[in-house]
Every structure is written in C-alpha cells, then in structure tokens.
Amino acid sequence: LSGRTWHWRPYDAETVRHLCQRFALGEVTARLLAARGITLADTDDFLAPKLKRWLPEPLSLRDMAAGVARLVRAVTTTERVAVLADYDVDGATGAALLTRFLASVGLPTRLYIPDRLTEGYGPGVGAIERLHGEGITLVITVDCGVNAFAALERAASLGLDVIVVDHHQPPPRLPPAIAQINPNRADDDSGLGHLAAVGVAFLLVVATNRALREAGWYRPPRGEPDLRRWLDLVALGTLCDMVPLIGLNRAFVRQGLAVASLGGNPGLARLAERLKLGGAMTAYRFAFLIGPRINAGGRVGQADLGARLLITDDDAEAAALAARLDDLNRERQRLERQTLAAALGGVLAVGREAGLIWAEGDDWHPGVIGIVAARLVDHFLKPAVVVTRRNGLATASARSVAGFDLGAAVKAAANAALLLKGGGHAMAAGFSCESTKLPELRAFLEGIAAAATPVAARRLEIDGPLSLAAVSPQLAETIDGCAPFGNGNPEPRFVFRSVTVDSLASVAPSLTRCHLVDLNGERRQAVLFASEHHPLTQPLRALGQRHCHVAARLRHRGANHAVELLIDDVATDADG
Ligand SMILES: [Mn+2]
C-alpha cells in the first residue's frame, strides 16, 4: 500500500541446510545468515565477533605512526593538548574516548566542540587562533579536519601541530597536518574504510598505549589503562554514524554493548536511567534513544553537552547533563514535528509529481531540517530538499535515495554559480544560497532528478514468510544472535500472510497500535510508526476485516521482553 515492491532476499538452500546441521541453528537463523552472504567458515566470527580476531595492526593505517609518535611526545612532556570534534555522536564519542584515554595516562586536555551555526562544520580559523592563544601546542581533530584547508594552513603558520582523525572522503590534495589518519585516504591500504571516526580514534589509542608501554611510561606506580572499558563509546559512535556493521565494526558494537550494559560510564548510565532503560544495552537503544540525545545539544542548544556527558566521572554532573540533554531532545522533537508538518503541508499543496521533493519556509530551525528531509524521503521515497530562509539567505539540507547522487547534483549547482557554498555525498548534502536564486536552483535540481532513476527506495527486502504462531520471545532472542543490525547487516523482515488487522488505535501523533490475527485465530501485538499523512495510515484503517499481508520486523517491548511486530508495509491481493 506504500507504493514499494517487495523482494525476497535470495539465499542458497544448500547453505541453509549445512548451517542447520553444522551449528545446530534453527531454520530461520540459518536462512538469515545465508541471505546475508555468511558462509560456513564465517559463521563463528559472525555470531560471536571477537575483537582479538578483528583488531588490525593500527600502524597499517597511513600516518598512524607519525600521529602516535607526536602524541607520545605530548604525553611524556605534558604538553597542552586540545581535542576538537564535531558535535554529532561520532565526534562526541571520539572526543570522549581520546579525552578519557589521555587523562588516564596523566594528560588533561582541552575540549573544543565548534558550534555548527556560528562556526560551521569542523575546525575554523577562529578556533585554531583561539586555541593557539590559550597556549595549546597540539590539536587532535576527530570526525572532521580532512577538508579544513584554511584552519590547518593557519595552524601550520602559527606552528600549532594538528593530528587529524577522520573517516570522511578526503579531497585529492590534503591540508597540512602532522598526521592525516583516515582509512579513506586514496593512499591508505588498511581496508578499514568502513570505520567511523571513533573506530579510527580507538586504533590511535591502541597504538599510542602500546608505544607508551614500550617507552616505559607505565612503570609503577603508574598503571596501564584497560582500553576495553571504553568500547561502549566506540559502539555508540559506530552505531549512530550508520557505517556498515561488518568486520571490525561488528566486533566493536558487540563488545561495546556488553561493556555498556555494565553501566561504567556515568553519563550513559544516568541517561539510560532517565529514559527508564532497564536491562542490557541494545543496538536499538543506542541508535534511536541514546544517540539522538547526545547530539541534541549540538542541534538546538550548546554543542559540547553530549561530549561532556560522555567524559564526566562526576555523578551529579552526569545526572544534570543527562536531564538537560533529554529536555533539549524534547525541544528538538517539538521543532521537528512543527517543521515536518509545515514542510508536508507545503509539499502536499503542490502535488507530488516531481522527481524530487522540495520544501521551503521562513525561519525553520537549521538544526532540524536534515531530520525533516530524511522523514520526507521515508514518506515519498524520493530525494528531498528542505530549505530555511532568513534575511535573504537560504540554508538547505537534503537527503537522497539510492540511485540519485545528491552530492554530485549539489556540486553541479555550485559549478553553475547557484550556491554560496555546498557539499556532501551521495545520500546527504547541504548548501546555502541567496533566496532569490531558489526558484532557479529548484528547477536545476529537479532537472537532474528527472533524468535519474532512483529505484532502491521503492524496494522492500523480505527475509521470508513467517507464521504468527512462530513469533515468540525465543525467536526474537535467536534473531538477536545475529545482531547488531544496521547498514550492511539489515534487520530481518518477515511477511505474515493472510492476516486481519484488529483493534486499531491511534495512541500518539505518529503511533498506531493494533493486533494481527491469522486464520487460526493466533493474535500478536503490532505497531505502526507513521504520521497521519503517511501513505500507510489511512489505507490500514480502511482495511476493516479484509485479509492482507503484512511486512514487519520483531521488536522487544518493555522490560518484560514481550515481542511486538513493527509494521513496515501492508499489501492486499489487489496489489498483485
Ligand atoms: Mn563520522
């Protein structure tokens, strides 16, 4: 009913049979593994990813050796060091990891998180001059810096050393730095391009720790820190940055979630408490409940709150910061709802024939337009641009679907002199321009979108049919064995055939609850997250007692581990 087509994830029946026999797996699990390309030889590493097995030699990253040598010198001579990071979760966790590690080896550091609204993204010339003025002699940038020509050239001219720890796509020529540690450098052959910045930062920590040990830094009474206790930070940043959950990332997340469940980080513990998250930490909780609160400060409040929450060891401060971030997140949600409603209203008023969704308004909060663009993509399954206008200036955030290279389109617009500045990658981009240029710019981008054929957003991948009777806490636990899910390891989705939808109730603005009932009278709780305007909401209500097929994922609910179904799409026989 949403306009998407359903596709079975293909798998090899022979592999499924072997997996069942060799590993005593249930048929459903074996099917999931086979559909994800996991072979017999990989199965152990997949089901129980060990850090020891996946952790590479950190020095295999280009420039790692130079960065480690410089950092060791800073530690052993107690230099004044600053950690500068983006406010988002990857940046905040990377900054917290480096800050905690350096503090544990005796080096206090200065935290600097630029305000995206006033300073822009990454290190600016102003930040570099300020840190230099404070007597800082070494800056480590995390999750930013690879493109910061002006700032890094200024630092070089001031004699301020910089180590860049990043994973963003680098330009052909790199700005000057003591070390540019980035697995996505063209000349880096570590094969670690899937890491988030916090993952790269962890490798810097591993290598620096080893170098300090070899330099005799840990002679008593000074002890060596246990790096594993900070894997909670690595897992959080990795999950929230939406990098593929494969190889080392999988090991980081699995081990990090186990560490997080012990509650050793006061900030994370207080935040989980505030959200009433009892029990073990899960990938879902990190990605969708904790993560948005960590970066809420950067979106609508004060940029460094998230990083400070992750750094503090003071329980009272942790509780205060957790409360503040939770409040800011509520404010962000309110702004997001308001902006989404206004944007949807505008889009629906003009119809939806174009190959690109365009929404613009005055004084929409720049901190939420990216999220609103992502919601519009979910809704219309087309690339979306959300523009906020203020004082003759327009700022935009855009999200795409597979098959349409948004970054390239924005670059083309910049080359056509339509933008003041702009950049991004295939799936997400941002730009600013003069408001008077908007009509021309819109026509320009719609022209490019019309020529493209975005297809993937219209596909819904399905792992297979399942009966309602099979939906149980035991099955959910089995599926959790294949977690964490995300990019590169899609969460299992099943089809429940010939069911009716019963006791439908709208319980919140974007939340509908119901029961699915099959021909045998088996019932299960289900939930649909979709606003009133979502293409599924009205048709679902109009179904009545007619049979339909439901595509859904399993979700634990509450502390009692009941299982409910998260509805992704519904088809009737009329859909063919
Ligand atoms: Mn990142």
Reported as a single tens digit per residue, the pLDDT across 288-320 is 899 999 998 887 778 899 999 999 999 999 999
Expressed in angstroms and rounded, the spacing between residue 94 Cα and the centre of ligand 1 is: 9
Q: Tell me: the pLDDT tens digits for 349-366?
A: 876 567 889 999 999 998
Q: Can you tell me the distance from the alpha carbon of 490 to that of 430, in angstroms, rounded to the nearest whole number?
A: 27
> In Å, what is the CA distance from 558 to each residue of 256, 275, 285, 561?
22, 12, 12, 6
CA 125 to chain centre: 28
Buried b / exposed e along 173-184 (16+ C-beta atoms within 10 A): ebbebbbbbbbb
* Tens digit of each residue's pLDDT (9 = 90 or more) over 83-140: 999 889 999 999 999 999 999 999 999 999 998 778 877 899 999 999 999 999 999 9
pLDDT category, 46, cuts 50, 70, 90? confident
Residue 265 has pLDDT above 80, yes or no: yes
From ligand 1's centre to the CA of 167, what distance in Å?
Answer: 7
**pTM, whole model, 2 decimals?**
0.84
Burial call 304-326: b when 16+ CB within 10 Å, e when fewer: bbbbbbbbbeeeebbbebbebbb
- Residue 275 CA, ligand 1 centroid: distance in Å: 25
CA–CA separation, 94 and 272 (whole Å): 20
Whether 323 shows a pLDDT value over 60: the answer reads: yes
Per the prediction, the chain carries an average pLDDT of: 88
Quickly count: other Cβ atoms within 10 Å of residue 455's Cβ: 13
d(CA 168, ligand 1 centre) in Å: 7
The separation between the first and the last C-alpha atoms of the chain, rounded to the nearest angstrom, is 11
Distance 564 CA to ligand 1 centre (A): 32
> CB neighbours (10 Å) of residue 114?
24
Q: How far is the CA of 243 from the centre of ligand 1 (A)?
A: 8
Which string of DSSP letters, residue by residue, matches 485-511?
A: PBTTBPPP-EEEEEEEEEEEEEEETTE
Q: State the chain's maximal CA–CA distance in angstroms.
A: 76
pLDDT at 561: 64
Measured CA to CA, the distance from residue 200 to residue 194 in angstroms comes to: 10
Q: Which residue has the higher pLDDT, 529 or 93?
A: 93
Measure 241 CA to ligand 1 centroid, in angstroms. 6
568 SS3 class? strand
Contact assessment for residue 548 and residue 519, using Cβ atoms and an 8 Å cutoff: no
Cα 25 to averaged position of ligand 1 atoms, centre (Å):
36
pLDDT for residue 101: 98
Residue 74 pLDDT class (50, 70, 90 cuts): very high
Residue type, position 246, single letter: I
Helix (H) or strand (E) holding 236: helix 231-240
The span from the CA of 396 to the CA of 408, in Å, is 16
Mean pLDDT across the stretch 19-45? 78
Residues that place a CB less than 5 A from ion ligand 1: 90, 143, 197, 241
* Ligand 1 centroid to residue 142 C-alpha, Å: 8
User: What are the phi and psi torsion angles at 218 (to 5°)?
Assistant: -95, 20
447-483 per-position pLDDT tens digit: 888 887 655 556 788 888 888 988 888 788 778 777 7
> For position 218, what pLDDT does the model report?
95
The lowest-confidence range among 15-24, 58-67, 158-167, 329-338 is 15-24
Compute the distance between CA of residue 560 and CA of residue 473 in angstroms, rounded to an integer. 10
Q: Who has greater pLDDT, 133 or 486?
A: 133
154-163, 240-249, 255-264: range with lowest mean pLDDT: 240-249
Comparing CA positions, the residue from 3, 91, 116, 84 lying closest to residue 370 is 116
Handedness of CA 122, 407, 411, 191 (dihedral sign): positive
424 dihedral zone (left: phi>0; alpha: psi -120 to 50; beta): left
Highest mean pLDDT among 173-177, 368-372, 525-529: 173-177
pLDDT for 79 beyond 60: yes
Q: What is the pLDDT of residue 558?
A: 58
40 has a pLDDT exceeding 80:
no
* Nearest C-alpha neighbor of 105 from the set 264, 228, 265, 223: 223
Q: How far is the CA of 85 from the centre of ligand 1 (A)?
A: 10
Dist. CA 481 → ligand 1 center (Å): 27
The two tokens of residue 246 are 């494969």
Position 27 pLDDT exceeds 90: no
Least confident segment among 4-8, 246-250, 268-272 = 4-8
**What confidence tier does 67 reach under pLDDT thresholds 50, 70, 90?**
very high
CA atoms 252, 255, 258, 259: torsion sign: negative
> Running DSSP on this structure, what letter comes out for residue 286?
I
Give the pair of three-digit tokens for residue 406: 């948004």
SS3 139: strand
pLDDT of residue 453: 67
pLDDT tier at 18 (50, 70, 90 boundaries)? Answer: confident
For 445, the token pair is 């981008």
User: How much distance in Å is there from the Cα of 240 to the middle of ligand 1?
Assistant: 9
The tokens for 275 are 């959200």
Q: Please compute the mean of the pLDDT values over residues 17-39 and round it to a whole number.
A: 79
In whole angstroms, what is the distance from residue 547 CA to residue 573 CA? 8
Using the mean position of ligand 1's atoms as its centre, give its distance from the Cα of residue 471 in Å.
36
What tens digit of pLDDT does each residue of 224-233 get?
999 999 999 9
Q: Distance from the CA of 93 to the center of ligand 1, in angstroms? A: 10
User: pLDDT tens across 178-217, in order?
Assistant: 999 999 999 999 999 999 999 999 999 999 999 999 999 9
